[in-house]
Amino acid sequence: MKKAWWKEGVVYQIYPRSYKDTTGNGVGDLYGIIEKLDYIKSLGVDIIWLCPLYKSPNDDNGYDIADYRVISEEFGGDEAFDILLKETHKRGLKLVMDVVANHSSDEHYWFEESKKSKDNPYRDYYYWKPPSKEGQEPNNWQSFFSGPAWKYDETTQEYYLHLFTKKQPDLNWENPKVRQEMYDVLDFWCQKGIDGFRMDVISLISKRLDFKDSHAPDNYEETIKDYYANGPRIHEFLKEMNAEVLSKYDIMTVGEGPGIDLETGLDYVHEDANELNMIFHFGHMFIDNGPGGKYDPIDMSLAKFKKVFGLWDSKLKGKGWGSIFLGNHDFSRMVNRFGNAEDFHDESAKLLSLLLFTMRGTVYVYQGDEIGMTNVAYPDISYYNDVETLNAYKEAKAKGEDMNAFFKLVHKQSRDNARSPMQWNSSENAGFSQGKPWLEVNTNYLEINVAHQDTAKDSILNFYRKMIQVRKDHPILVYGDYFCFDEDNSTSFFYKRWDEEGTYLVLLNFTDASLEIEVDEDLSEYELLVSNYDKTKNSGQLEAWEARLLKRF
């Protein structure tokens, strides 16, 4: 396995709007991040990934970019960014930018031109189609965020494609000018000295140009896989991007991708492919989605979850590199999804941390998870901001669904669960802002906050710090082989990490009751390195949500 800084580094993901506000306008900003760089450094992480910072009308909180070279004034503008980059590097940390190449904002100059006339030089920067014979949308594709993926525009009487909101028109990557524009943008940021890119929905940039109707428009996963993602020219485009820009800099790249699965994943990250370093797949993150997607949930199965990790590890082994994450700005809080946030909050948050830092792949920690932040449950829909949530709510209402039941799903699934402001301390608004936060602070900030956990020796925060250090001190946890014992059971997750120099065992109890340890290993040969309970000795039993890391003498 070839070594690299981005394989060993731990990434900390920041959602800038929700991190720290220094102006009192209720919105987090870059000076807030600068203020918190010493805290970030204290975690032991190496790399910071910032969700989009660019000029944007914020229909999708920055994932709708109006100018790829300009930092939003709301966040402090270009000047604040330059200071942030300098201060980040000064502390030996690296900085990764989020870039949205699949679509722009409809307020981007390119789109404003494009919609003016059919012969505008920017017309082909986007996908325009005449109405169908019946005078309807060109096909039955649905947007990720509810409703048709096409919007009619009066001026030229054609529809444009938007796989996300109607303010996020899809860019036409078939057009070489579009590709060059994007490479120039990437180059611009590399020249500034940034250390990498997280590429939003990169799996969607190559379209199937026949634009065929989906045979199952309501089946979320199937439609993405068969119609939207992994289009015919995706690897050609990524190789070109790599040759034109990425390969010229010592940067890391991670592509995000709905529709990237076990069959298609390796093609993006194969070490000989010269495309991307890593991808985010959602194998484990969509495990509780039914055919209708996140608002059609099914029970989460630990056995399935374990299999996803095993299958991906063996797929990538020796050929490519994976990303290990359990949450980000698009999902509910990981302790609610995979732990037991009610009865074993601290134990299960620590268990999940032990899982993250003992898996093969680069680990990504989402802001707030290091203190075990939980889902919010705002009292009514007016408190919510996320466009996906609001559109889904409107759609359910229009269909006449039981809105009490639907609102319970909003509590469980809304992306705002991950976007409520960072809980810094027990002062007003959790120390996030002196003004009214753009999104309400979670009411549990008095119990769950950084200041409190910083000083409490046995806090979740200090457990994260310890685990990050343990990973650094034991590189076998980064590069070593992976084997899972008894993948079929849905109560425990027991696995082994090793190479010729040493062997580690990870024992995780995913239940509320104690559990016998059953592994084909002689436990007396192992010493206990870390436990999320106050333990110094190995025993044959794990308590509820107990997690242990052992090392063979």
Contacting residues toward ligand TEU, per CB under 6 A = 60, 63, 100, 144, 164, 200-201, 256, 258, 294, 329-330, 388, 415
Structure tokens at 52: 């989009």
What is the rounded radius of gyration, in angstroms, for the C-alpha atoms of the chain? 23
- Measure the CA–CA gap between 103 and 94, rounded to whole angstroms: 26
| CB closer to ligand TEU, 256 vs 369 | 256
125 with 106: CB under 8 angstroms?
Answer: no
In whole angstroms, the minimum distance from the beta carbon of 287 to ligand TEU comes to 13
From the list 59, 200, 369, 386, the catalytic residue is 200
- Does the active-site annotation cover 187? no
Question: Could you identify the residue written with the tokens 């495990």?
Answer: 287
Helix or strand or coil: residue 126?
strand
| CB closer to ligand TEU, 140 vs 414 | 414
| CB closer to ligand TEU, 219 vs 491 | 219
In whole angstroms, the minimum distance from the beta carbon of 5 to ligand TEU comes to 24
- Measure the CA–CA gap between 515 and 529, rounded to whole angstroms: 20
Pick from 390, 359, 417: which is nearest to 549 by CA? 359
Residues recorded for the chain = 553
| CB closer to ligand TEU, 375 vs 492 | 375
In whole angstroms, the minimum distance from the beta carbon of 368 to ligand TEU comes to 16
Q: What is the 3-state secondary structure (H, E, C) of 184-249?
A: HHHHHHHHHCCCEEEEECHHHCCCCCCCCCCCCCCCHHHHHHHHHCCCCCHHHHHHHHHHHCHHHC
In whole angstroms, the minimum distance from the beta carbon of 139 to ligand TEU comes to 20
In whole angstroms, the minimum distance from the beta carbon of 286 to ligand TEU comes to 8
| CB closer to ligand TEU, 330 vs 347 | 330
- Measure the CA–CA gap between 218 and 222, rounded to whole angstroms: 9
- Does the active-site annotation cover 256? yes
In whole angstroms, the minimum distance from the beta carbon of 329 to ligand TEU comes to 6
| CB closer to ligand TEU, 420 vs 429 | 420
Amino acid at 286: F
143 — phi, psi (to 5°)?
Answer: -75, 155
Residue 169, Cα to own-chain centre: how many angstroms?
22
The catalytic site residues sit at 200, 256
